[in-house]
Structure 1
Amino acid sequence: MTSDLPQDPAGFAATGLTDALVDVLSGLGYEEPTPIQREAIPPLLAGRDLLGQAATGTGKTAAFALPLVQRLAARADRGGRPSALVLVPTRELAMQVSEAVHRYGRAAGARVLPIYGGQPITRQLKALDRGVDVVVATPGRALDHIGRRTLRPADLDTIVLDEADEMLDMGFAEDIEAILADTPAGRQTVLFSATMPARINRMARSHLTDPVTIRMGDASTPAGEAPLVRQSAYIVAREHKPAALGRVLDLESPAAALVFCRTRDEVDTLTEQLNGRGYRAEALHGGMTQEGRSRVVARVRAGTADLLVATDVAARGLDIDQLTHVINYDVPAAPEAYVHRIGRVGRAGREGVAITLAQPREHRMLKAIERTTGRRLVIETVPTIADLRERRLDMTRASLQEALLEGGLDPFRVVVNTLADEHDLMEIALAAVKLAHEAGGNVTDEQEIPDVRPRPARPEKPARAAPGPRSGGAPAGRAARRERIPAADMTRLFVNAGRNAGIRPQDLVGAIANESQLSGREIGAIEIADRFSLVEVPEAAADAVITALRGATIKGKRATVRRERY
């Protein structure tokens, strides 16, 4: 693929890449390095360790892959064993990074192998036996091969941790530590993360040697590209969200949009509703087979679908160039997740749009996002029926204008001349416009969506004094918990993880909403202690929630969930 835009190979040449590799990039249509590439490639070529903060969509894959390829090309004898390992959080990202390394290193004969769960391990074993230069793997499967001795950490001279914060959030911390513990002390270690929480800094201090540190702004400002993303939000009651989304899509007319939902069921339901509205929507979630997910993504990339409705987990690692819009049908549980989502649009100089649908009680979450991103979310008014009709008329007007400019209208002149004998030309034109307008579809919404305002923040209640000891030896903590009795139709569940494990209310809400049939608004009060948490759920759904969370992990810790014992 080549670009019609002027090439600037000197931009990449200035980073220290060889002429051969610069030619490869020019042939792929790369024009100039992104900021993270410009800063990261020279020290990586020099063999330095690197700690980089860069959000999704900033070009960090090429930032570490190009130096890898160049160093491989310079080696006279590569042998058959991998010398570089790239650890990534998901199979989708493993495939994406592997494809990138293959594209950059094809001329140099670079051999790359993606390794992830859900793929026959015999195929991986045969490829490793034939000889591989770079392995791109999820931590669990990499550790599996290390245990089989089909991947030897002692042979590695470069390790890359890509999207390190995602890997830690997914519970891979122990796997990563185990892998790094067996690698040579003189290896080159590269760590990229969209955010820099304390645990990422601790990992860097433990495993990186005198690293070059690069920060492309906060995760909220992806290397100069964030200003190209127009961010807005609509406040709408939950029962009106499907209709509100349809109206927003009608007005925005995205070329391709990624719509995020919180649960699998919500993805399936919303996909069906959008298809009923006339959109070509596809669902993507963890309940689908890998083959099915690949087909869905291929349809979006090919332009046979214009909406991809997905959960966060299923969409991790996706890179679709055609995307113009990211829509948060549900407000993300954490501001960092919002940053990851919107990083998928507004890339490579193109403008993008990020839209969030929030319930009135979620207005404070929008404020948290604004604090994290440092940018204001414009609160828009949900389009009215009149707005939709005006938009449809604009589209009809644009279509007629295009037809007039294209010409080729002579075959239809006889129709106009015949009608002109009996009707005024203006009346004929109006009838033609009416037919063209109706052919484009009519506004099907019959009811206006109520205009709602954000709920004011609740005033904080004064802290209660800690209760004194009770007769019978009941612990003070349990006595304090008993002071708050769940509503008659609610019950309280005990979760064996609390403040010491970094558990936050949004972690519990996200886990329950993702794994069970409950929505976030159905979950009641949450109390987090040092070593456990208590969550109120509807009594009728308690057993189903316990079953759904059996074996699940929350913040990397396997969850034990049961009814609270009084």
Structure 2
Amino acid sequence: MTMNAAEGDIGTATTFADLGLRPELLHALSGLGYEEPTPIQREAIPPLLEGHDLLGQAATGTGKTAAFALPVLQRLEPDGQHPVALVLVPTRELAVQVSEAFHRYGRDLGARVIPIYGGAPIGRQLQGLKRGVDIVVATPGRALDHIGRGTLDLTALRTVVLDEADEMLDMGFAEDIEAILANTPDERQTVLFSATIPPRIDGLVRRHLRDPIRIEVGHETVGERTTPLVQQSAYLVARAHKPAALGRLLDIEAPAAAIVFCRTREEVDQLTETLNGRGYRAEALHGGMGQEQRDRVMGRLRAGTADLLIATDVAARGLDVEHLTHVVNYSVPSAPETYIHRIGRVGRAGREGVAITLAEPREHRMLKAIERITKQRIPVGKVPTVADLRARRMELTRAALRESLLEDDLEPYRVVVESLTDEFDLMEVALAAVKLAHESSGGELDEEEIPEVALPPERERRTGGRRAERVSRPPAGGMTRLFFGVGRRAGIRPQDLVGAITGESGLRGRDIGAIEIADRFSLVEVPHEAADEVIVAMRRTTIKGRRPTVRRERDARGRVPR
């Protein structure tokens, strides 16, 4: 059975209460500011609550974590010693994020959740597992390590979730996943989420899921509904720097009026406070506000006494602000139709508008999905630098002075200029006046650079079903070459090494340099500052069932290069 949430067949549930969730979960969701389920949540939660296996095709940011976390927590009875749910994820960062989400949603249930991944003290993980845990969120390599140690008992498991399954397979975790699933009960519920469904995923589904419900999110053809009058752009920004990046972009764009869309009420309130601290006249609008309060906010926006509206989709429904010039997606929308609906608020009646989207690196796929569906390119730019901001503010000062020269009555100020020119050169007087005007308009408010985030690398070209190996080259600057005591004879491929390193350390795939694989050993370039972390992490794990020697590469004389 296949459901396509993007075609409008998304059930009748419009609130989390309609989904039949227990009061503790509804209370937690309300406290977090979640107002309504996303399409993937409306589709996935009911069948998961009924115990069905599920295959969901959905990208990061569509709300899939809550789609599988809430059903797990709904059926939770935190009394046992061993976990009842196991969530497998490709990276340590995602393990932490998913674990934190379970903690937030299950706070009123006393849910015991632990993330286990490489690069973290294993002693702490052992203690947590020994004390008793309900939900384990793990990278495959570390999960298999604990199973081998006998410290992760899966006999009481009721649900297994494979999150971002395509990423896990691309990182070389296929054999680890198979080995983990072989240690789980036959009568478990299996849930698999993947942004793409290549043949390898289909094979995994056929082997391990029983008559699964299939859900696809974001596959409608809606390109004709977008408007050419809207200038669309996106910026890749790390989560920690998004508030600063938004402020920087607003400083550059200087919108007459803008709506910034957020996912939750909590995010709306926090961002409103941050932007007001930067000197903007920002107003919050979300479902937790009364109608009278909402009317006051809209009155201030229409009257021009507020220039920024920070809102959730629910609260902004039906709004029509005539002088709106900019729409900002603080995160990539969870569904393409949401993106289209939002940017359609500008560019109306022949007016031009601007649509800006802030995307975290893991949300880049979602931007590509929106481009495919809308049939329009969304250029990804770099967040303006401090130099860009200074130039823009200077341009605004120049424009303000020009407008004053053209329109204002300046005669009353002539006596000031004439008295100063008796002592100073006329150009110096003008420069001092410009300096005062510039400083009064904001001056240099923002002096910290926002770190640039690179685009995720394209998937490496595959040849004959195998990933092509990288071309050998000398170590790049700032890189250290590590020796791994396993090679081609052990069946080692580049993705096995990348998957092991990224799964057990703090590195990502794009951080890893050249890989050379010989018959009996492999050489891998990693950033110099991360070399020790990788060596320690890899000594605690296995690659293709082997625990290899890992050390810095030695030169011809057996010395470790400095």
TM-score, normalising length: structure 1: 0.49
TM-score, normalising length: structure 2: 0.49
